[in-house]
């Protein structure tokens, strides 16, 4: 695949990953990852960064979303995609995430602005997420009507 086609495909995979996460389509989301990707979302969930089984990562996300929030929405911003090798691609995208919850009978929203750093690796002819790092720039938790 030439560069423009790879870039378009990677952009589509990132959009799918956020859509699947928002919709709770965990099995589909798991298919987008290598078996043991490097995950660093320590600023978000306080878990230590490192290589983890994709199934365990997805289980943790599913549990967190279900236990803490009733809905999540990710909005992608500017994206930079660069082919770094024959079977490697690096991508960076701005993200605005909203997580909705109830607390003491009041609806709240946790809003985070940041950047996701992705590394993709081609595995058996398919591009998969091999590394995902979150850098949070802004984080707030406020009542919905504030």
Q: Domain coordinates of the chain in residue numbers?
A: 3-143
Full 3-state SS string of 4-47: HHHHHHHHHHHHHHHHHHHHCCHHHHHCCEEEEEEEECHHHHCC
Per-residue pLDDT of the chain (146 residues; tens, 9 = 90+): 458 889 999 999 999 999 999 998 999 999 999 999 999 977 766 778 999 999 998 888 888 777 888 888 999 999 999 999 999 999 999 999 999 999 888 999 999 999 999 999 999 999 999 999 999 999 999 998 86
Stated as kind and residue range, the H or E segment containing 130 is strand 126-143
**Digit-coded pLDDT (tens) for 117-129:** 999 999 999 999 9
**Beta strands across the sheet bearing 71-85:** 50-51, 33-40, 126-143, 106-123, 88-103, 71-85
> Would you say 117 and 92 are in contact if contact means Cβ atoms under 8 Å apart?
yes
Let me know if 41 is exposed, middle or buried by CB neighbors in 10 A (0-12, 13-18, 19+). Answer: buried
- CATH 3.10.450.50 corresponds to the domain 3-143: yes
**135 DSSP assignment:** E
């Amino acid at each position: 695949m030439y560069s423009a086609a790879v870039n378009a495909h990677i952009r589509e995979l990132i959009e799918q990953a956020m859509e699947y996460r928002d919709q709770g389509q965990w099995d589909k989301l798991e298919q987008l990852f290598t078996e043991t990707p490097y995950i660093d979302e320590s600023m978000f969930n306080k878990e230590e960064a490192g290589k983890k089984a994709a199934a365990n990562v997805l289980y943790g996300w599913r549990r967190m979303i279900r236990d803490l929030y009733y809905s999540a929405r990710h909005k992608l911003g500017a994206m930079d995609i660069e082919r770094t090798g024959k079977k490697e691609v690096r991508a960076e995208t701005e993200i605005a995430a909203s997580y909705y919850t109830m607390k003491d009978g009041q609806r709240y929203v946790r809003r985070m602005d940041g950047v996701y750093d992705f590394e993709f690796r081609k595995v058996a002819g398919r591009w998969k997420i091999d590394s995902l790092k979150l850098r949070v720039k802004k984080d707030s938790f406020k009542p919905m009507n504030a």
